[in-house]
Every structure is written in C-alpha cells, then in structure tokens.
A and B are shown apart, each in its own frame.
Chain A
Amino acid sequence: MRNIADLQEIALRVRRNIIKMVTEAKSGHVGGSFSATEIAVSLYFEEMNINKDNVKDKARDKFVLSKGHASPLLFAVLCEKGFLAESELLTFRKINSNLQGHPNMNYVDGVDMSTGSLGQGLAAAVGMALSYKIHNQDFRVYSVVGDGESQEGMIWEAAMAAAHYKLDNLLVILDQNGLQIDGDITKVMNPLPLDEKFKAFGWHVLYVDGHDLNQLLDAYAVARTIKGQPTCIIATTVKGKGVSVMENQAGWHGVAPTLEQAEAALKELV
C-alpha cells in the first residue's frame, strides 16, 4: 500500500537535513539533491528491497547515484533508512568523516558504488545488472543520471551495452532539471532530446514529473513489466525544488547557503 503522505514527510525531512549538512559543511550541492529528492525517497521507501538485514549483501537491489555530487541526498536518505545516525550527517565533507563530498562505497552501508566523476556510475550499474542476469538473481538496479551528465560519452557507451545485454533489470531515472554548472543545458551543450536518444539506443522510455511521487511509483511499476530492454524514466524536475530562491538557479548548483539563507530555507521546508 502506498502511503504518499509518509513519503512526503520523509522527503521533507531529507530536504531539511540536506540544508543542514551543506550549511554546516560550508560546501556541497543542494540544487541537484533537491531535484532528485522524490526520486530517491520513492526508490528507497517503496520500490527497492533494501533494509538493515540485507544492506551488507553483495547481491540485492542496488542504487547507483551516477550524479554523485548529490551525495547529501543519498546520505540523508540512508539516514532515514536507519543506516546512518543523524548526528553523523553533520560531519559531511569534513576531515575524517565517512561522509565524503562524493559517496564512498567502502565507508557507508547502502552506498552501492563510489561516484563523483560524472558518467561512470551508469556503466557500473550496467555491470551490476549484468551480474544479476549471469547468476539468475532476481534483483534490480537503479541509477539516477543527471541531464548535464548525459553529455559524457560514457553514458551512451553504457546505454548501448545495457540494451545490447537486454538488461530489463536496469532502471535509469534521468533527472532532467535543465541545468548544469555553467547554466542551461541547452545553451552549454544541448543533450536533448534525451528520450529519443534512449529510444534510439534500444531503451524503453517513460515520462514523469519527478516531484510527483504517484507518477514515479507508477513508472517504476511499469518498468518492471518491460522485458528484454532497459527502461529510462525521463523525470522532469526543478533544480533546487522546495526552496524558492534556489529553484531553477544554476548559481545554486554547488554553493552552500549562509546561516541566514539556511534559516530562511528551513522556514520554507515545513
């Protein structure tokens, strides 16, 4: 049974924690964390089978945050899952912390792949999905890819391989927030149309509003029925979603809020 209200509550706590982490660290990526918040929350709390009992298993449902700079999101979600203490979140990006600027799979339970160098995560996800095929394991692999990240050639090499190996156990959620560091993706280096590209590479493509939890969950369910090819959900999102001054602002890609800005943001996130 879907409990959308619960998921919304979790998403809110996640956003609040992201603000606190990045403010305390004085660095980190809020914009791209907020655009993918509903995506990550719906995956971890409804779609994926991952919990305290299986989190250390080598084979289980896995999540690869290919756009690894959204690490605050991943850590905040893992905290909600109970894999991380809330107090540890405030060590993010500080020396001697397990919570690295970009996620490290050897330091935190539930981080399934170390990422941060854009373009590489999807290929690792392909490797995981391939492993489950080879060994007849009924697990699924999920990866969130940035729209700017899709400019990396490696994304398309991985996309080709996923279709070639008929990896219907692989689901990509493309966080189409329209922005990268230097601005509008279509002005910097237009990667659109992404849906037609994935289709041409042999993928099944679905479309959602990436902040609509029902649409996301519906799409995950549809993806499970698609056989013989991988699925990509094009999620239309808003970078910085939830804090008005940050929404759709490329300038908020990787800048920490000041204490006052954080306070104002937390007032909005209620």
Chain B
Amino acid sequence: MAKMATREAYGKALADLIVKNENIVVLDADLSKSTKTYDAKVVCPQRHFNVGIAECDMMGIAAGLATCGNIVYASSFAMFATGRAYEIVRNSIGYTHLNVKICATHAGITLGEDGASHQSIEDLSLMRGIPGMTVIQPVDDVETTQVIHAISELNGPFYVRLGRFAVDTINAPDYKWQVGKGVVLREGKDITVFATGVLVQQALVAYDVLKAEGVEITVVNIHTIKPIDEELIVRLAKKSKVIISAEEHSKYGGLSSAIAEVLAAKCPTLMEVVALNDTFGESGTPQLLLEKYGLTSKEIIAAVKKHI
C-alpha cells in the first residue's frame, strides 16, 4: 500500500497552489523543512516568509496579511501553532474571522522522539473552541491534497491538523473531499467507529480483524471535526448500540467530545472512547507510542468486543 505523511502531501499541494493563486501567502516559523512549506518557497520565494522562531508574531502577521485580501497558510508544529500562539489565533484570526489557514504539522504523540513538550494532544480542543474556526484532520495524502486546495476557496479561518510520519493511503485517486461530511468507509451492523487521523487506518485494521471473526462494524472517517457531521452521526447512532470514537488526542475536547455533544442532544447512545486518557505522551517511536498509549486497532477491537 502507498504511504505518505500528510505533511508531505501538504507541502506538495501548497507548492502547486501558490503558483496558481497569487493571493496565497505562506508563513513559517523556522520549521519549513519539517512542515514542508519549503516546497512552496522553492517555487515561489516571493510569497513565502519565514518569520523566525516567533509563532505568535507569525499568527499576527497572518491576520494582517489576511485583512488585505491575502489567503494565508501559516505553519508550524501543532504544539506551537495552536499552543504557543493560541490567544493570537483566537483574537486576531478567530474573532476577526480572517482568511487564515493554520496548517499545523507533527500533531499528536506520533511526533515521536521529541517528546511531550512537542506533542500536541489538546490542539483539537483549543481550535474547536474558537467560534467560526473550521477544524480538519485529513486522513491521508489524497485527502490532504484536496483539503489544501479546497480551503483556498472557502473563506474564514481553518485549522488543518497534519502528521509527521507516513500513513497508508486509503482514498482512491478519484475521491472527492467535502467539508463537513463524514465518510463511511465500511458499512456494518450495530456498532459504529468514528475515527479521525491515524486512528482511521487503525479502525480499518480493526474492521478486517473483526470481520474475520464474523463481526461487521461501521467505520467512518471524520475529517472535519468542526462543524461535525451531525446528520451522519445521528443516522448511524440510530442503528448502533454503541458508538466508538477514536483519535490521537486527549479524550477531553476533541473528536469524542464533539460526538458526545451531538449524541447527548439528538440521540443518546452509549459511547466508548479510544483517546489519550488524560496523560501527556513521551519520547519514543510513533509505533511504540501508539501501542503504549492505547491508540491502535487493539483498543478499538477491545471496545467493540465489550458490546458483542
């Protein structure tokens, strides 16, 4: 199976886009080779600015550029883009509803060896809390490419959560991404898994394992965490005895919370949550970290088996 990191796909898509649309300006904060905005710099140095190690400044500059009609893509690690610069994002980009696309890479614990100081596990929660912020986590390179192009045409602030390490491509080349629409990848019976990011691939593994044992679950890719696909969640909840959410993020405020909010209001359904259980991560390889912190197909399967 083809594999690519979503940050890699981001770099390629942005390099493509920046030459096509002269209103696009790219900002980075001394991580351009890691976030991959360097690809855009190579083809369009005049609209790529490396502001130095100054994430707060970067977000303020992004806001100013956007007030003049530019479409700004601003990148750093998710920790610094959403954590360090949070209040600037909130007031100068969110409150103003400016056209800034915060494309943050190295999200979650799969950032790996740099350790907990660099692993954003609260970024979905932070960004989801900002009124008018659209929050997206593309699952693979195909989806990332489409997201990066599509959001240039969608006005307002976006948060795009991207990963460091290579993940399996699960979407076909002709896949069509639509903001706010969950994607049913496998349609099963009365247990539904809503996953986002690297947990989508894990959910697909869980599907295969369970299917071999005669259990068919439904697997949905929730690429847009906000606004979340209420209609789909309610429709699937109605036929499910349990809903499982799966994400590489704290169990507080991310996908599980977004789903629980919908279920509690519109279709109360039992939930199982696969997420970081109120803990920081640590240094280690992405794979070992996912295993240690319980973010693999194993935990999804265990959650399913509690209900069959």
Contact = CB atoms under 8 A, between A and B. Distances in A.
A and B pair up:
yes
Interface stretch (B52-60, B95-103, B145-153, B204-212): B52-60
A28 B112 CA distance: 11
Given A93-B283, A95-B289, A117 B79 contact: yes
Interface in B96-153: 112-118
A119 interface: yes
B52 A95 contact: no
Contacts of A68: 117
Interface string A24-61: 01111000000000000000000000000000000000
Interface string B32-63: 11100010000000000011111011000000
B30 A95 contact: no
A115 B242 CA distance: 42
A97 B289 CA distance: 12
B239 interface: no
Contact of A101 (B56, B84, B283, B288): B283
Nearest to B115: A101
A189 B29 CA distance: 10
Given A97-B283, A152-B53, A188 B113 contact: no
Contacts of B288: 95
B30 A102 contact: no
Nearest to A27: B113
A117 B114 CA distance: 11
Interface string A100-116: 11101000000000111
Interface string A145-164: 00011011100000000000
B54 A189 contact: yes
Given A95-B288, A100-B116, A151 B283 contact: no
Interface residues of B, number: 32
Given A149-B53, A180-B52, A93 B115 contact: yes
Contact of A94 (B30, B31, B52, B283): B283
Nearest to A120: B84
Nearest to A68: B117
A153 B80 CA distance: 13
A116 B208 CA distance: 40
Interface in A165-216: 180-182, 185, 188-189, 191
A153 B117 contact: no
Nearest to B118: A116
A124 to B, nearest CB: 13
A100 B50 CA distance: 28
Interface centre among A96, A100, A153, by most B CB within 10 Å?
Answer: A100
B272 interface: no
A95 B51 contact: no
Contact of A181 (B30, B56, B84, B114): B30
A94 B140 CA distance: 27
B230 interface: no
B118 A151 contact: no
Contacts of B115: 93, 100-102, 104, 116
A135 B1 CA distance: 63
Interface centre among B53, B83, B115, B117, by most A CB within 10 Å?
Answer: B53
A100 B114 CA distance: 7
Contacts of A188: 30, 50, 52
A118 interface: yes
A25 B30 CA distance: 23
A153 B113 contact: no
B282 A95 contact: yes
A181 B33 contact: yes
A185 B83 CA distance: 24
Nearest to B80: A117
Nearest to B79: A117
B84 A95 contact: no
B294 interface: no
Given A68-B117, A188-B30, A180 B283 contact: no
Interface in B267-294: 282-285, 288-289, 292
Interface in A68-116: 68, 93-97, 99-102, 104, 114-116
Contact of B113 (A101, A104, A119): A101
B114 A116 contact: yes
Contact of B283 (A100, A114, A148, A181): A100
A153 B116 CA distance: 23
Given A102-B117, A117-B79, A148-B30, A94 B284 contact: yes
A195 B31 CA distance: 26
B54 A95 contact: no
A99 B113 CA distance: 11
Contacts of B56: 153
5 shortest interchain CB distances as A-B pairs: A189-B52, A116-B117, A95-B284, A101-B115, A151-B52
